Amino acid sequence: TAQRELADFLTAADRAVAFTGAGLSTECGIPDFRSPGGLWSRNKPIAFGDFRAHPAARNEAWRRKFVMDASFAGAQPGRGHRALANLLAQGRLSGIITQNIDGLHQASGVPDMDLVELHGNGTYATCLDCRRRYELGWVKTRFEAAGGIAPDCEACGGPIKSATISFGQAMPEREMARAAALTDTCDLFIVLGSSLVVYPAAGFPLMARRNGARLVIVNRQPTDFDEMADLVVRDDIGDVLEPFL
Ligand code: OAD
Ligand code: ZN
């Protein structure tokens, strides 16, 4: 079976890396972006340039975020998160690179030092100009008191944005470097629940493959990278990782 093959790959590997996308969290009730009914089928993403330039875009971005956060407030790590946390604790994985901003890897017990959050973190906000940190509760209180207008930075008047990476926004340098270091030194790279269409994130499986690592793709849909993979498991992540729980 595919599970058996994946287990054999893990046993044979000295340094395995997991690379996760929104598909890891669908079993936790958080929709992904590109499946039917996914987030981008409901709303067009708000690009970074628009967020920065237009107060109306900021108001809309914050409105959406508060709706999203309220509906996923109780989300718990799923089987995939828990299996990966186990594998890491057993020393069978050397790190996790995620595109997710939902905090569920941390919630499953993965230490920060073993986790690279390529697209940032949705649990706090910062001023785009002076980098001052703001808590979401502070932003929400002001947003609501002002009737749906996003507050600006108290220190410098700059725009306050959730600490996630939007389209058109620069990638976090330190996280990119950490992901590159993990990818460069791994001999097994396991993609779980990513459509692999967003760059530069989708460049990491390619980099791993070029460096001679084995590539595994776990996704219930085909991806453009399937033909270069050593193993493709076209199934639900939770079912596939069940034996590692
Ligand atoms: P996508 O929504 O593009 O892809 C999720 C993939 O997971 C799809 O290919 C699904 O078929 C698959 N999937 C969903 N649930 C699954 C399950 N239970 N078992 C197996 N497969 C499942 O999400 P990402 O690839 O993470 O970026 O998207 C990449 C980036 O695009 C995100 O980080 C986000 C988005 O725009 C930013 O916001 C910057
Ligand atoms: Zn500021």
**ipTM score of the complex?**
0.98
Pairing between β-strand 120-127 and β-strand 133-135 as defined by DSSP bridges: antiparallel
Best of 25, 46, 165, 195 for a ligand 1 pocket test (most atoms within 8 Å of beta carbon): 195
Task: Express each pLDDT in 29-56 by its tens digit.
Answer: 999 999 998 999 889 999 999 999 999 9
Radius of gyration of the chain (CA): 19
Is the pLDDT assigned to residue 71 strictly greater than 90?
no
Task: Express each pLDDT in 128-178 by its tens digit.
Answer: 999 999 999 999 999 999 999 999 999 999 999 999 999 999 999 999 999
Percent of the chain scoring above 70 in pLDDT: 100
Closest ligand by atom to 151 CA: 2
Is the pLDDT assigned to residue 72 strictly greater than 90?
no
Look at the pTM and tell me if it is higher than 0.95.
Answer: yes
Print the SS3 string covering the chain: CHHHHHHHHHHHCCCEEEEECHHHCHHHCCCCCCCCCCHHHHCCCCCHHHHHHCHHHHHHHHHHHHHHHHHCCCCCCCHHHHHHHHHHHCCCCCEEEECCCCCHHHHCCCCHHHEEECCEEEEEEEECCCCCEEEHHHHHHHHHHCCCCCCECCCCCCEEEEEECCCCCCCCHHHHHHHHHHHHHCCEEEEECCCCCCCCCCHHHHHHHHCCCEEEEECCCCCCCHHHCCEEECCCHHHHHHHHC
The set of protein residues with a Cβ atom below 6 angstroms from ligand 1 is: 21-23, 26-27, 32-35, 38, 99, 119, 165-167, 193-195, 198, 219-221, 236-237
Task: Express each pLDDT in 223-244 by its tens digit.
Answer: 999 999 999 999 999 999 999 9
119 is catalytic: yes
- Mean pLDDT in the chain? 97
- pLDDT for 64: 96
What is the C-alpha to C-alpha distance for residues 188 and 230, in angstroms, rounded to an integer? 10
